[in-house]
Structure 1
């Protein structure tokens, strides 16, 4: 039995060996097969999808070579490509930041299983978003931001139901347009939405659509031209999961919405520059998760609410550029104590008052502190040195006073920006002091720093910006200031008393972009400039010599050398400054003809060559400056006619060619300069009639044609100047160029404003800051005839009207009393007759009236401003009477009685004269008959009487002729010195 069993076992074992080997081999084979199948799923992509990617690659320009790995058969190993480990399908195409350019091949539509698509930060030729992207039904992530797309966003994007991340944000132009948010409302899986910098002006439904996205956690619609929206129109809020809300730079024109305070998980709120108004409500304290609060650049008012004291997680607060008020110390002691993590505090540009002591020293986590542009006062406490983490400190434009010394900054070793400008600080740093910090930016404009230049600056090897304008500096700059060649980019030492010469080594400052040394006492020639300079202002000094050829710097944006003693001609190289926006060479001794080389410059806005000795014709190539806004060539010796090419400068708002020798008729094409606001052509040799086309200038508010040879009737169409019909021009800020330079603390400082010298209220006035409010018509000292048109009464916004020194007749129209804003009226030296209209007494603002040297009659009206005018306003009108003249007005009844009595008196005089003559003749005749001696004496007597009588008549006639000639002369050209330009007189006022 055992043997049998053994045999059986042995038999079984022996016979089982081949079977076991087969099973073992089969298992190995199956394992290898599975491994092969699995390996193939990982390493090899689907051929059709590889071909789609290859076609895309062929149509793309890859400047950085980021797609160099797109070779070989396995596309799953290509850069930016990810495949499913299970199916081998491409599920992720992440090419964000690859800077790709060109055309997106529609072959990508073959990637049907795509879940993640990122094509951001490329340049795809400004084409619309490809619609085939909307066919990726499995797409969860789509980022097409900053990729150069434009056109209208396809509504089919709403057909991507799984989409949770969508970023179409773009900073390019033209922007992508979204006409309606309806398709957005269908993306109910969205958790992240960024449509910043798109054009959403027509999307009035944006808020209601967003409210249908219950999972939304991040919403960014910055600078998206959102329409004005009542943010409080939502009765119920569905997007309560929101953690980040960024809506900055949209004109929403609303108050802070109530629904915001229900977003309990909100950690970031940015509504900077949204046109918000009203007060910040106490409900702000409900947002206890807030880490970032930005509500700057709005119109929020009132005080910082006390409830903000519950926002203990805040890291950044920006409430700058609002209308917040109240005592900063009181608010700070209540609000800030729990904010132990606060690193950025920006309250700049409000109306806060109070002092810094007692609260500031405890905010030791602060890295950025900006309190500029308020009304804070008192001294800066030395304890500010406790804020050892400070990097940025800006106290500029407040009312601080006292002394600032090195003790304030002894512990601020991290400080890189310090701005104390426009306070009443006395800077008392020791000359030997070596600061613990290395500043990049320093602003001490309008502080008392001088008279010596601060030597401690020599240790600031990383300094980039220095602003010491109006700082009381005297004497020459130290040589070492020009040694910051590797760092200094901006130097402002304007409006001081700095002497000496500019160094020849100036061109070695390779990083210098802004040099502002205007209003000092610099002498000598201007050296070669660094090629990096973009802003150069050396105006109002004593510089001489000529303009170097090197000024043809192609990077220069702003060039002002006005009010110096620079001579010579303008080099042709100036025409090569293709980036220049302003050239101001006014008030120098430059001469010669203007270069005729102004081509291909689309950036040039202002040319001011006034008050020099230029001659010749205006260059025709100036007509190619299509962006020119302001052209000043006044007070030169320019001749010839206006070049017709100027009619192409249709952006011109200010054309000042006064006080030259320009001639010819006023061209009709001036009427095509539809942007023109100020036109000054006075004191030239223009002739002919005033063209009717001038009345077609819709924005013209100041017209100066005085002291020319213009003739013809005073035009009625002047009443059609529509810009003078309204009380004030429509614009609230100046439409004229105002160039600003970036300051230390981020503020901009004006370095140029357009200005006009004009006669106003009998004085020579420079209109600068308020030039856009100047309205007036000056046609004085011409040869105009006819009557004053009543239509001028339509110009209710007119401030000054001067028609003096012409040949205008007729009466003064009653309608002039309708020019309610009129402050100056000069009608002198004409042939006006009749009474002074009583309506003129309604001109309550009339400060100057001159109607002298006319033929006006009747009684001078009395009342309002007329009771303040002196005799000079009414001189040489023989038939005027009443105050302020000494000539008393006689009532009409008294005049009639006086004429009757005079007639009776004359009759009696003639009668008695006749009787006396008859008696005398009889007596003389009898005597002469009787005596020869008597006859001789009589005839000698009569000869003497006759000769004396004739001589008296001749003298009287000569006097009358001389008087008439003098009156005619005074009525024409002598008026120039009063009504046009007083060249020898400095301006008496600046506005």
Structure 2
């Protein structure tokens, strides 16, 4: 009985112990139920959060749960982004995560009341102002992320030094430009820091290093200092952590010189990114020790090493390297076999100087999925790609590949992106090439000689989002296989030899069409209403076809529209239906359009390129054109436009090209062209009705290369300040580009187009159209006006000018002596003026001169003797009665034909001539023979023989010289 009682007591004790052990767990589990035993957050911390919320902006109500109900008002641990500890009846806030909540305002110092906060993440919002320096009191913080709040800043990072438990710090995008050298010391004093993210912070450069390493963190493994403009002095601090660092990103800085050896000696390094700097040379040999290296990014530097040598120095990483990025350098030599890097998944070597054929692959790369080799000089045939069975992205465009496309392309069942555009491939594509490409969504074969030979009922295995087949042969009929593609957003089948009209089914294929290019075919017929056929922000190019009728309505948010070189008629009224403000590029040139320029042009605030040339437009340029501040090219050539050039155009300060040729514009040449449009490269006002003088302000056009005011009614003198045309004076200036990059549509990273400006320039007496070579011309044409006075000598300073035409004016005075300084001049026309005096001898110094016209002036004297000036026909000098000498028939005084001698004297002279010729040729032959033998004997015989020979040769040479001199004198007398 006693034993049973003891047993019961022991059981009670055991149950009591079990209950005591389970009590904390029961308490914790009941804390989230919401009954009377629920653990609540501290009132002080709840009030701190409410004050924090009161100081910020929350337009979308992301923090509406903060105190929305009575229960929520009492327990802040249930609020969005708030996490609490559960170690007592009252919880402490340990975590606040409000990333990407579209919050704004200033960060309230009230957060300092959260003494137990271990994790704070506010990144991806719009907080502004300085980071509260009181953050130093949050001594329990392990994780701090304030990144990508672009208007947040900190003038001092000293507060960081007090966060001794911090392991993760991310201030990327926070402005730290005023945080001087102390930012390094503050970070070095965080002994537990493992990850440091300070990308895009405008960090100041390090200026001293005396205190580095004193209390430095030895655990730092991840560091990102990219996009800060840091100099190479950062290395001195960085290498203090060489034993622990595994990830380093110093991309997009201003690092110069060679790549330091110390990187190769970092035993823990797995990821190194130094892209976008100015590093030179090659890879240090120390990288052979990088046995753990997984990713190396050195793209967009100035590396010049042979690629095979570069890869050899990475031999230690053959079993670890997964990503290698070398784009945008100057690496040269052939492409080596890179399959020895057995784990390689991504290889980027685009935009280098690689040459030679694709290597013969001896191994395979089962993991490679991204291969980028575009913009090199790789030659030979298309490679066998079967060694890359999992390839997904293949970029081979802009090389020199030739021949056929290897059939192995059809085995890449995972291939998604395939581009080999701008090569010299010549092949016939059959259905077999595409048989297994079921994953393909991007196809670019532009600018090759490829022919598609597929059946009319072919159904491709893929659904393409981008179809780029420019300059291939798909015609003559419209490709029927396109009917199976209903997801494409980009279609370029320009220059495909397609004839006939566009089938009606085409316009309903793809509801998401962003860009359509059918240009340079022979497509005819009418267009339907296009306003609903395209997705937002689209591009359309139907130029160089045979389309007729009025231009239909186009998408209201169109970005680029090119309908040039068709037979469209009607007015420009359709433009006013474009309600969006995204139109960048508009080319309607070479059509049959009539009417006035619409006032609604002012709506297109981002319009950069406007070409309406060669139509039948009339009326004045509307004042609203001044509301196009982004315009770079204005081409209204060959219309019937009239009135004055509107004053509002001076607001278009980005204009590089203005071509108003062949209209009926009146008034004076505006002075503001020179004072406001100082970026002008081409200014053509030819064949209009401008009057008055050439304004002095034109001389402010320092970049001008083509200036054409010909065939107007201009009077007055030529401004002497033409010497201010820097682009025509300074020989160090490079040729400018007259092609412009524009956004063709808004749908991704590959939607840029190129507009090549064109202009008709009178070159060497012919009116020629120039496009891609327009920027190479340097021409001034002031012909067919009423300009008077002397030709300013300052024009002689235009050393880079190729063509100068001042003909058909009433210029007087002499041809300037300084004209000989215009060393690049190829065409000079000063005809039909009133120039007088002699032709300056300096004109003979123009070695490139191929067209010369000085006719119909009052020039006098002898034409200077030179091979150059005598090579022109007599017409170049005709109409100058007092001008003489070759090539004109009239001889100068003293050059008359001598009186005929008697027959006997003539016979004597002929004999003498024969003697002269014989003696001359004999002397020449003898001199050549002994000269050759002398050179030979010099090598063969000894010094005494050589001495005797040269004494003999010297005497013989003297005799030959005397003979030649006498004979030459006689010959000159006879001539």
TM-score after normalising by structure 2: 0.79
Counterpart selection for 2:57 from 61, 64, 89: 61
Following superposition, the deviation at residue 62 of structure 1 comes to: 3.6
Q: Deviations over 1:903-923 (max 9, x none)?
A: xxxxxxxxxxxxxxxxxxxxx
Query: Is 1:700 equivalent to 2:700 in the alignment?
Result: no
Higher relative contact order (CA 8 A, sep 6+): 1
Counterpart selection for 2:323 from 263, 286, 292: 292
Matches within 5 A, 1:623-642: 623-642=626-645
Unaligned runs of 5+ in 2: 32-36, 68-72, 203-226, 900-975
Separation (CA, whole Å) in 2 of partners of 1:505 and 1:666: 41
Q: Deviations over 1:494-539 (max 9, x none)?
A: 1111222223477345578233221112222333334454333222
Separation (CA, whole Å) in 2 of partners of 1:671 and 1:472: 46
Following superposition, the deviation at residue 364 of structure 1 comes to: 1.3
Residue equivalent to 1:365:
390
Q: Deviations over 1:158-206 (max 9, x none)?
A: 6355544333444xxx976587676246535554344444545652233
Residue equivalent to 1:478:
503
Following superposition, the deviation at residue 438 of structure 1 comes to: 2.2
Separation (CA, whole Å) in 1 of partners of 2:176 and 2:543: 45
Q: Secondary structure at the match of 1:664?
A: coil
Residue equivalent to 1:351:
377
Separation (CA, whole Å) in 2 of partners of 1:273 and 1:447: 32
Q: Deviations over 1:591-642 (max 9, x none)?
A: 4443445546541223333334444443333223322322233433444433
When residues 47 and 772 of structure 1 are mapped into structure 2, their CA distance, relative to the original with a 3 A threshold, is farther
Q: Secondary structure at the match of 1:92?
A: strand
When residues 47 and 275 of structure 1 are mapped into structure 2, their CA distance, relative to the original with a 3 A threshold, is farther
Query: Is 1:244 equivalent to 2:245 in the alignment?
Result: no
Counterpart selection for 1:141 from 130, 143, 166: 143
Q: 2:346 touches 2:371 (CA, 8 Å); kept in 1? A: yes
Separation (CA, whole Å) in 2 of partners of 1:96 and 1:318: 33
Following superposition, the deviation at residue 687 of structure 1 comes to: 3.0
Q: Deviations over 1:272-317 (max 9, x none)?
A: 33444433312123223111122223332223345x4431111111
When residues 353 and 203 of structure 1 are mapped into structure 2, their CA distance, relative to the original with a 3 A threshold, is same
Following superposition, the deviation at residue 852 of structure 1 comes to: 0.8
Q: Secondary structure at the match of 1:815?
A: helix
Separation (CA, whole Å) in 2 of partners of 1:670 and 1:512: 33
Q: Secondary structure at the match of 1:49?
A: helix
When residues 397 and 831 of structure 1 are mapped into structure 2, their CA distance, relative to the original with a 3 A threshold, is same
Following superposition, the deviation at residue 406 of structure 1 comes to: 0.7
Separation (CA, whole Å) in 1 of partners of 2:509 and 2:887: 69
Separation (CA, whole Å) in 2 of partners of 1:828 and 1:146: 68
Following superposition, the deviation at residue 428 of structure 1 comes to: 0.8
Q: Secondary structure at the match of 1:862?
A: coil
Residue equivalent to 1:900:
none
When residues 416 and 667 of structure 1 are mapped into structure 2, their CA distance, relative to the original with a 3 A threshold, is closer
Counterpart selection for 1:408 from 433, 450, 458: 433
Residue equivalent to 2:769:
766
Structure with max Cα Rg: 1
Separation (CA, whole Å) in 2 of partners of 1:175 and 1:869: 68
When residues 30 and 583 of structure 1 are mapped into structure 2, their CA distance, relative to the original with a 3 A threshold, is closer
When residues 544 and 33 of structure 1 are mapped into structure 2, their CA distance, relative to the original with a 3 A threshold, is closer
* 433-442 or 339-348: bigger deviation: 433-442
- What do you get for the CA RMSD once the two structures are aligned? 3.8
Following superposition, the deviation at residue 115 of structure 1 comes to: 3.2
Following superposition, the deviation at residue 36 of structure 1 comes to: 6.3
Query: Is 1:217 equivalent to 2:249 in the alignment?
Result: no
* 580-589 or 191-200: bigger deviation: 191-200
Residue equivalent to 1:686:
690
Separation (CA, whole Å) in 2 of partners of 1:262 and 1:742: 48
Separation (CA, whole Å) in 2 of partners of 1:739 and 1:37: 63
Residue equivalent to 1:273:
300
Q: Secondary structure at the match of 2:331?
A: strand
Residue equivalent to 2:419:
394
Q: Secondary structure at the match of 2:690?
A: strand
Separation (CA, whole Å) in 1 of partners of 2:148 and 2:414: 35
Separation (CA, whole Å) in 1 of partners of 2:372 and 2:238: 30
Q: Deviations over 1:776-812 (max 9, x none)?
A: 2222222222222221121111122111122222211
Following superposition, the deviation at residue 231 of structure 1 comes to: 4.2
Matches within 5 A, 1:920-939: none
When residues 650 and 33 of structure 1 are mapped into structure 2, their CA distance, relative to the original with a 3 A threshold, is closer
Unaligned runs of 5+ in 1: 1-5, 556-577, 898-991
Residue equivalent to 2:256:
229
Separation (CA, whole Å) in 2 of partners of 1:219 and 1:768: 47
Counterpart selection for 1:463 from 483, 488, 496: 488
Q: Deviations over 1:513-572 (max 9, x none)?
A: 2332211122223333344543332221222233454753234xxxxxxxxxxxxxxxxx
Residue equivalent to 1:582:
585
Counterpart selection for 1:313 from 336, 343, 346: 343
Separation (CA, whole Å) in 2 of partners of 1:835 and 1:643: 45
When residues 601 and 395 of structure 1 are mapped into structure 2, their CA distance, relative to the original with a 3 A threshold, is closer
Following superposition, the deviation at residue 262 of structure 1 comes to: 4.5
When residues 163 and 698 of structure 1 are mapped into structure 2, their CA distance, relative to the original with a 3 A threshold, is farther
Q: 1:179 touches 1:202 (CA, 8 Å); kept in 2? A: no
Q: Deviations over 1:669-701 (max 9, x none)?
A: 333222222222233333333222222233233
Q: 1:486 touches 1:510 (CA, 8 Å); kept in 2? A: yes
Q: 2:421 touches 2:444 (CA, 8 Å); kept in 1? A: yes
Q: Secondary structure at the match of 1:766?
A: strand
Q: Secondary structure at the match of 2:844?
A: helix
Total equivalences in the alignment: 851
Following superposition, the deviation at residue 745 of structure 1 comes to: 11
* 612-621 or 506-515: bigger deviation: 506-515
Q: 2:333 touches 2:353 (CA, 8 Å); kept in 1? A: yes
TM-score after normalising by structure 1: 0.78
Following superposition, the deviation at residue 355 of structure 1 comes to: 2.3
Residue equivalent to 2:793:
790
Residue equivalent to 1:49:
45
Counterpart selection for 1:303 from 334, 341, 356: 334
Q: 1:629 touches 1:736 (CA, 8 Å); kept in 2? A: no
Q: 1:822 touches 1:843 (CA, 8 Å); kept in 2? A: yes
Separation (CA, whole Å) in 2 of partners of 1:605 and 1:490: 19
